[in-house]
Amino acid sequence: MLHQRNSIRASLDDDVFASNDLSVRMPKYQMHRDEHEPHHVRQVVIDELMLDGNSRQNLATFCQTWAEPEVREIMALTLDKNMIDKDEYPQTAELEARCVHMLADLWNSPDAANTLGTSTTGSSEAAMLGGMALLWRWRERRRAEGRPTATPNLITGPVQVCWHKFARYWDVELREIQMEGDRLLMTPEEVVKRVDEHTIGVVPTLGVTFTCQYEPVEAVAKALDEHHATHGIDVPMHVDGASGGFVAPFCDPDLVWDFRIPRVKSINTSGHKFGLAPLGVGWVIWRDVEDLPEELIFNVNYLGGNMPTFALNFSRPGGQVIAQYYNFLRLGREGYRKIHQAGYDNARYLADQISKLGPFEMIYDGHGGIPGLAWKLAEGRDTGFTLFDLADRLRTNGWQVPAYTLPPHREDLAIQRILVRHDFSRDLADLLLADYKAALAHLDKHQPKTTLTEQEAGSFHH
């Protein structure tokens, strides 16, 4: 035993890379029989993570890749807090409730102090809850009228996968307004074409993932008002504000898209996108208490108390919600405005500079949507390369600038897109532009014999 103890003590003094643990291949797909030294395993995991991309250079993601030291400290302090356990962590539950009312007020709820909402794991879960409320309310109305509740449908513009999931999971027909020609967004005319008595709701997106643009929420609402007056079909709206819900109130406060429109019954957003919280938090808020059906609220006698819950997930971390509350107190409206305005300024700077680099035509230049830009290759120009080639070349310097084709009916059009987040400074923009020039020069000198397609480049998915 003494020999064994001395041997263990000696091994602890070994250099980590000369240790017994790192001198052999660690198991990858089966759990090893024995324990390993924690600092050795830590090094193995860190080494594997080196192969990931640098998140700060990931210009595809909407999600935050930087946080203040205070946020990191809050996350470390709250690793053990379960958001669902409101009896054990009542103050965490109180902070969540404050965030709900702050958001309701931000979005001009007529009764922000008393409306309902909840945190979620992200905007996709929040969108599901908003869609479920539309579906349940539609069923209630139909049953009260003695009408059948089969074949519900939902009208959206070009949407990301969460709404396709909702439609499939809850057996709802998705009437998606596909892109066509130069029309890349939902329009009022296309909405009313699809409305009938089975329509549970209309979902405009405030910041379409493909092009970053805002869909015309107020114009769609007015068209639905006119359709209601003419045909007697009253269709509610849910706004998918996954990105724009945390941008428009600060940088475009006169834009009418929120609860100022009576037809808007609920809004979802992502706290970990332009809400500046760490990954893992979204929000859904209802205009009025009656807009959330009671059947969707469960009272659970579990974990020490009777708790109402209406999220899809149960146990989940509370740290992201607390960090969101920190941001609300830390930044206020003016702090959020300054951060997002800097993003717009950098997006518009990039749009101007990239337009000058060569064969590019801007689709979105940072005006009329979220902080970002999107462009295509100019028509009629024989470049000898595709945007997928350019994206692949930029990756040699670590930049992830997605190139992808648009959804059905415009799959012929490939674009590139950049999201300008909180941590993307003007200096980083200039570094990116320098690498763009170098990449274009390389592709001009060494034109690919066969240009990359979407599949060969690694298809980008939202």
State residue 462's pLDDT score. 45
Report pLDDT for 383: 87
Within 10 Å of residue 229's Cβ, how many Cβ atoms? 9
State the pLDDT at residue 396: 95
Average pLDDT (164-182) is: 97
Cα–Cα distance for residue pair 421/243, rounded to 1 Å? 11
Domain annotation covers residue 168: yes
Residue 75 has pLDDT above 90, yes or no: yes
Amino acid at the residue 8: I
Token pair belonging to 145: 């009228």
- The CA–CA distances, whole Å, from 73 to 49, 165, 320, 332 equal 22, 35, 12, 20
180 CB-near residues (< 8 Å, 6+ apart): 409, 410
How large is the average pLDDT for residues 427-433? 98
Classify 83 in phi/psi space as left (phi over 0), alpha (psi -120 to 50) or beta: alpha
Domain at 451, CATH number: 3.90.1150.160
235 lies in the same domain as 111: yes
Same domain, 42 and 147: no
- Quick: pLDDT tens for 153-168: 999 999 989 999 999 9
Same-domain pairing of 182 and 209? yes
Is there a single domain that holds both residue 125 and residue 200? yes
Per-residue pLDDT, averaged over 415-419, amounts to 97
> Could you tell me if 324 and 275 lie in one domain?
yes
In angstroms, the Cα distances linking 414 to 174, 186, 285, 313 are 25, 20, 35, 36
Check whether residue 172 and residue 214 sit in a common domain. yes
Burial class (CB in 10 A: 0-12, 13-18, 19+), 296: middle
Q: Has residue 346 been placed in a domain? A: no
**Cα separation, 364 vs 347, whole angstroms:** 10
Residue 336 belongs to a domain: no
Residues 170 and 215 placed together within one structural domain of the fold: yes
Element containing residue 216 per DSSP (H, E): none
Q: Which CATH number fits the domain that encloses residue 267?
A: 3.40.640.10
* pLDDT tens track for 197-232: 999 999 999 999 999 999 999 999 999 999 999 999
Rg (CA), the chain: 25
pTM for the predicted model, two decimal places: 0.93
Both structure tokens of 341: 């305005």
* 7 pLDDT above the threshold of 60: no
Q: What is the 3-state secondary structure (H, E, C) of 13-41?
A: CCCHHHCCHHHCCCCCCCCCCCCCCHHHH
Residue 342 lies in a domain: no
Pair (247, 108) in one structural domain: yes
Does the structure show a pLDDT above 60 at 456? no
pLDDT at 121 over 60: yes
Q: Is residue 339 part of a domain?
A: no
pLDDT at 352 > cutoff 90: yes
Question: 345 in a domain, yes or no?
Answer: no
pLDDT surpasses 70 at 56: yes
Whether pLDDT at 416 is above 70: yes
| pLDDT greater than 70 at residue 46 | yes
In a domain, 337, yes or no: no
DSSP 281-295: -EEEEESSGGGS-GG
Taking phi first (over 0 means left), then psi (-120 to 50 degrees means alpha), and beta for anything else, what does residue 116 get? Answer: beta
Q: Is residue 65 part of a domain?
A: no
Do 312 and 393 have their domain in common?
no
Structural domain that includes position 83? 70-328
d(CA 17, CA 47): 11
- Report pLDDT for 91: 94
Residue 294, pLDDT above cutoff 60? yes
What is the C-alpha to C-alpha distance for residues 325 and 258, in angstroms, rounded to an integer? 21
Same domain, 254 and 135: yes
Number of domains in the chain: 3
pLDDT tens digits, 122-137: 999 999 999 999 999 9
**Rounded distance between C-alpha atoms, residue 299 and residue 213, angstroms:** 39
Same domain, 137 and 251: yes
Is residue 322 located within the same domain as residue 389? no
Mean predicted confidence (pLDDT) in 34-49? 91
Residues sharing a CB contact under 8 Å with residue 258, sequence separation 6 or more, in sequence order: 107, 108, 239, 241, 248, 249, 264, 267
Average of per-residue pLDDT values in the chain: 92
